[in-house]
Chains A and B, each alone.
Chain A
Amino acid sequence: MVNPVLLIVIPLGLAFVVPFFGFISKKIEKFIPFVALFFNLIVSLRLFPRVLEQPVHVSIGGFVPPFGINLVAGPIGILFTVLIALVGFLVSIYAFDYIKEKDQEKYHILYLLLLTGATGVVLTGDIFNLFVFFEILCISSYSLVAYFGDKTSIESAVKYLIQGALGSCLILMGIGLLYGQFGTLNMADLAGNIKSVHSVSIFVPLVLFITGFGVEAAIFPLNAWLPDAHSSAPSSISAVLSGIAIEVGLYAMIRVVFTLFGASSILTFLMLLGVITLLIGELCAFCQENIKRMLAYSSIGQIGLMLFALSIASSYGITGGLFQLVSHTLGKSLLFLAAGYMIYRSGSMNISSFEGMGKRMPYTALAFTIGAFSIVGLPPFIGFPGKLMIVKAALFEQEMLYTVLIFFILLATVIEGAYYFRVVQALYFKEEKNTQNQKREIAPLSILIPIFILTGFIVVIGIYPKLITDVLVSSASELLNRADYIKSVMP
Chain B
Amino acid sequence: MDVRFKRDGAALIAMIEGEIDHHSSRILKERIDSKFIMEPVKDMIMDLSRVTFMDSAGIGLIMGRMKKVSSVGGKMSIRNPRPEIMKMLKMSNIESLIKLDA
A is bound by B: no
Using a CB–CB distance below 8 Å, which chain A residues touch chain B? none
